[in-house]
Amino acid sequence: MGQTGSGTDQDALTDGKPGAGLEVIVSQLRTMPGSPGVYRMLDGAGRALYVGKAKNLRKRVVAYTRLDQLPARLQRMVFLTASMEVITTHTEAEALLLESNLIKRLKPHYNILLRDDKSFPYILITGGHEWARIVKHRGARSLPGEYFGPFASAGAVNQALSILQRAFLLRSCTDGVFASRTRPCLLHQIKRCSAPCAGRIEPSAYAALVEEARAFLSARSSRIQQDLAARMEEASGRLEFEAAAVFRDRIRALSSLQARQDIDVPDFDDGDVLALHQAGGQACIQVFFFRGGHNCGNRAYFPAHVQDEEPGTVLAAFIGQFYDDKSPPHDILLSHSLPEADLIGEALSLKAARKGARVRLLVPRRGPRRNLVDNAMTNAREALGRRLAESGAQRKLLEATAEVFSLDGAPERIEVYDNSHVSGAHAVGAMIVAGAEGLLKSAYRTFAFKSADLRPGDDYAMMREVLTRRFRRALKEDPDRVSQWPDLVLIDGGRGHLGVALEVLDELGIDALKVVAVAKGPDRDAGHEQFHTADAPPFSLPANDPVLYFLQRLRDEAHRFAIGTHRARRSRAIGASPLDDISGIGARRKKALLHHFGSARAVAEAGLADLEAVEGISGGMAKKIYDRFHPGG
């Protein structure tokens, strides 16, 4: 959904049943507890409109009954409220953590939302093995070992890893590869591994390298470099120039890593810097990461639903969702003061990795730390400026598209449909979505065909099933067309595909929805596309028309998405085995059978005694496998 304040919501306020949502809230107040907790306001379809927390639930929720004191945005929310749900907690800090988790998971329309919350990569020095390895890690930190980070991007962590391998010569291969090697690999030849797999280093010496790597990543880099410099001098004094050269190369590697840290602040080893800039009804929050005394990069975020919100309110909402699935550092430097800063600090302290650690939220006014915040503010301002420029160009394209297809206004949501298959096999339907902010990848959908009557390769039937399922669901979940409906539907195809789409919409009783079929030109080359609509003869656009390029990009993105999904399904099918259909045959038994017989076909042709000879295959399991391939035998 877009920014609140749409015409649809305003019409609902005047044309619906005023007070219905207010009555729901008043009725809930009769049994509302006065304890800390979280409340959810839900619409008629059960979707979350708003998630809030309170120290006293009853006192907080009663404020929604004073409609004249609420802004128009929250008045619309009250009107749309059909039910409420309440969860009590022991403390207000617990309520804040739960609120952040629910907002992130449910994405309510009337909350400030963190978008593009991808997981961050870490550097992991593994544990549980005599020869520790150093690797990039993303996802749940469930593997044994020590994690260092986060890093802002995969590129940043890859650069750091490359340098750390040159400096500390730690292995990066998997335990399976390590166990099977007898000779050094290429990484040893290019001086990025000490080759413990081939016995080229003693366990004690390797353990010392591991400890040095840990120390360097734990903000003790200067001590490590001083120690290496002393050892280089000692080796040189003993005329062991080859050994001295190794120490020299390691010092250079560490120096090159530190040279990448263009921001250096003493006494700020572990912390994040968050700076907010607002303009044009949008906001950008830049997050800089400092770990172990190193600058681990930065990332820009553009939270949704921030128009008319105060900077501190936006930052507070962002912090709760940002640290929902990650451990906060000791210090967080902010560009603006937060409402309820003490409560947020208490909640983050509950999540801190070190028990008893206190997370501090600081707004520095001067000195080196203020310089950090100012630098982040500059990055936030520049990133938002670029985004506004891009969205302005996108808005012009949407307005021009509206003019080409005689729409009432610039489309807020464009849906593009395509199918992909090879001679009808592994067919998949795909939908991509674009809007004022570009491609909305979180709204992409794929459709696995379910119709038993579908003939392989029947593009019309596939398109019929995709559109029927898409808009039947839209009618069920959002009959008032508040949020899930497109302003323009593009279909990769010609007049026949357009006819199928119009038939589907007519059968579902849907009108006033613009559908356009985009057909390749006579020679199926880009630039000569024909556009088919229900109310005009086919037409083409000039080859240099920006709208044509825009529509080509949308069609190509739909094709790319459909092809990618199709290939993934085909790859899974190719990798499938008849053994997968046998109950009790898991990955280990399947591997044992294939290793013993060489192929699934050989397993199918094997006798009962041969099957029983396989390690891990009992007599009963052998009989089950045999019966699977020899029914009635």
Q: Which residue has the higher pLDDT, 245 or 550?
A: 550
What pLDDT sits at residue 426?
59
* Residue 404: predicted pLDDT: 93
**What region, left, alpha or beta, does residue 78 occupy, with left being phi > 0 and alpha being psi -120 to 50 degrees?**
alpha
SS3 189: helix
pLDDT value at 632 more than 50: yes
Contact 57, 37 (CB under 8 A): yes
pLDDT at position 223 is 64
Name the phi and psi angles at 519, rounded to 5: -105, 145
Task: Summarize pLDDT for 273-299 with one digit per residue, the tens.
Answer: 999 999 878 899 999 988 776 777 888
The pLDDT, as a whole number, for residue 4 is 33
Distance CA(296)–CA(147), nearest Å, equals: 13
Segment 450-454 shows an average pLDDT of 63
Q: Which residue has the higher pLDDT, 541 or 295?
A: 541
Predicted confidence (pLDDT) per residue in 75-116, tens digit:
889 999 999 999 999 999 999 999 999 998 899 989 999 876
The reported pLDDT for the residue numbered 575 is 47
Separation of alpha carbons 475 and 484, rounded Å:
9
Is the confidence at residue 555, as pLDDT, over 80? yes
Q: Rounded to whole angstroms, how far apart are CA atoms 630 and 597? A: 17
Q: pLDDT at position 116, please?
A: 64
Cα–Cα distance, 85 to 32 (Å, whole number): 10
Determine the 3-state secondary structure of 35 from DSSP. Answer: coil
Segment 8-24, tens digit of pLDDT: 333 333 334 446 889 99
Among 139-148, 196-205, 575-584, the range scoring the smallest mean pLDDT is 575-584
Q: 578-629 adopts what CATH topology? A: DNA polymerase; domain 1 (1.10.150)
More confident residue, 6 or 505: 505
- Does the global pTM surpass 0.85? no
Residue scoring higher pLDDT (234 or 370): 370
Tokens of 280: 């044009």
Q: What angle do CA 611, 614, 616 make, to 5 degrees?
A: 115
Three-state secondary structure call for residue 32: coil
Q: Are 262 and 372 in contact (CB under 8 A)?
A: no
CATH code, 271-385? 3.30.420
pLDDT band at residue 633 under the 50/70/90 scheme = low
574 pLDDT exceeds 60?
A: no
Domain ranges of the chain: 7-106, 121-259, 271-385, 413-573, 578-629
CATH topology assigned to domain 413-573: Nucleotidyltransferase; domain 5 (3.30.420)
At 602 the pLDDT is 77
Nearest to 496 by CA among 536, 447, 461: 461
The percent of residues above 70 in pLDDT, for the chain, comes to: 85
Using one digit for the tens of pLDDT, what is the confidence trace for 223-240?
666 777 777 777 777 787
Q: Which CATH number fits domain 7-106: 3.40.50.1110, 3.30.420.40, 3.40.50.2000, 3.40.1440.10?
A: 3.40.1440.10
Q: Residue 51: what pLDDT?
A: 95
What is the average pLDDT value for the chain, to the nearest integer? 82
- pLDDT tens column, 18-67: 468 899 999 999 899 999 999 999 998 888 999 999 999 999 999 999 98
Retrieve residue 378's tokens: 């500059």
What is the mean pLDDT of the segment spanning 530-554? 89
Residues of the chain with pLDDT > 90, as a percent, come to 31
Is the separation of the CB atoms in 504 and 464 below 8 Å? yes
From CA 462, how far away is CA 470, in angstroms rounded? Answer: 12
pLDDT of 314: 94
Question: Looking at residue 11, what is its pLDDT?
Answer: 38
Rounded Cα distance between 182 and 131, Å, is: 15
pLDDT at 524 over 70: no
Q: Give the integer Cα–Cα distance in Å for 57 and 335.
A: 30
239 vs 263: which has the higher pLDDT: 239
Does this chain's domain 271-385 share its CATH topology with 578-629? no
Torsion-angle region of 293 (φ positive above 0: left; ψ -120 to 50: alpha; else: beta): left
Instruction: Give yes or no for residue 337 having a pLDDT over 60.
Output: yes
Q: Average pLDDT for residues 381-406, to the nearest whole number?
A: 87
pLDDT attached to residue 87: 93
Residue 258 has pLDDT above 70, yes or no: no
Of the ranges 194-198, 236-240, 564-568, the best mean pLDDT one: 194-198
Q: In which band, very low, low, confident or very high, does the pLDDT at 589 lie, cut at 50, 70 and 90?
A: confident
